[in-house]
Amino acid sequence: MGKVNYARQTEAVIEDLKREGRRPRLLLHSCCAPCSSHCMEYLREYFDLTVYYYNPNIDEEKEYAFRLAEEKRLIAEYNRQVEEGDFASMRSTPAASRIEVLEAPYDPDRWHACVRGLEDCPEGGDRCTVCFGLRLEETARAAREGGFDFFTTTLTISPLKDAERLNRIGQKMGDKYGVAFLPSDFKKKDGYRRSTELSGLFGLYRQNYCGCSYSKR
């Protein structure tokens, strides 16, 4: 069986929305500002976005808070663009809408309990599957509670993360919580390169490790 093209699936959903004249609410799980930069630029054209910051995998509270502060700084800049109609250097149109933020409390104990026994797995292995599952499950739960139409994650923008696994987990959590999962492979269609460009444009902090203390090794 050939590889699934998740980027094309995103486009197919967007084409349906355009045809139906719908603009749904989407809860976008974000790991950090650099990864969300392109995802938000792309999705805000078609969805009313709320960014969900839930990353209990991050090793230190100071790092958690700093990544969140950068996320909020970027969203404030995107919202200023919308208010002022100022899209210089952006791939945006007047269809772009404001973005809200929903932040979850820092909860590393729960994450450590979930990955117990998997500490020595290499990056990309079983510990990451559990980590993705926890973050996507909480996003699906929050999406249901908030009455969102869709949820998805910025994690597929990373060339180091398995988009097939992320989409499979997202679909499973969507089924469990009764909220549509938006399939994605945000790195495709120039997405990853665009995220590095936007990170440079806004001077975003780009951490040199994924998040957990094991990924620092």
Site string for ligand SF4, 75-114 (x = CB under 6 A): ----------------------------------------
**Could you give the 3-state DSSP secondary structure of residue 162?**
coil
Q: Is residue 173 at the binding interface for ligand SF4, with CB under 6 A as the rule?
A: no
Applying CB under 6 A, among 40, 43, 128, 173 the residue interacting with ligand SF4 is: 128
Work out how close the CB of 119 gets to ligand SF4 at its nearest, in angstroms, rounded to a whole number: 10
Site string for ligand SF4, 33-72 (x = CB under 6 A): ------------------------x---------------
Window of 96-104, 121-129, 168-176, 186-194 that interacts with ligand SF4 by CB under 6 A: 121-129
- Element of type H or E holding 29: strand 25-29
Q: Which is nearer to ligand SF4, 43 or 210 (CB)?
A: 210
Torsion angle defined by CA atoms of residues 53, 57, 63 and 69, in that order, rounded to the nearest 10 degrees = 0
Work out how close the CB of 171 gets to ligand SF4 at its nearest, in angstroms, rounded to a whole number: 18
Alpha-carbon distance of 63 to 80, in angstroms, equals 26
Q: Is residue 136 at the binding interface for ligand SF4, with CB under 6 A as the rule?
A: no
Q: Which is nearer to ligand SF4, 39 or 99 (CB)?
A: 39
Given a contact cutoff of 8 angstroms between Cβ atoms, the answer to whether 80 and 89 are in contact is no
Instruction: Give the CA angle between residues 128, 121, 216 to the nearest 5°.
Output: 80
- Axis crossing angle, helix 126-145 with helix 163-177, rounded to the nearest 10: 40
Given a contact cutoff of 8 angstroms between Cβ atoms, the answer to whether 135 and 153 are in contact is yes
Residue 47: other Cβ atoms inside 10 A: 26
Q: Is residue 212 at the binding interface for ligand SF4, with CB under 6 A as the rule?
A: yes
Binding site for ligand SF4 (CB under 6 A): 57, 123, 127-128, 131, 210-212, 214-215
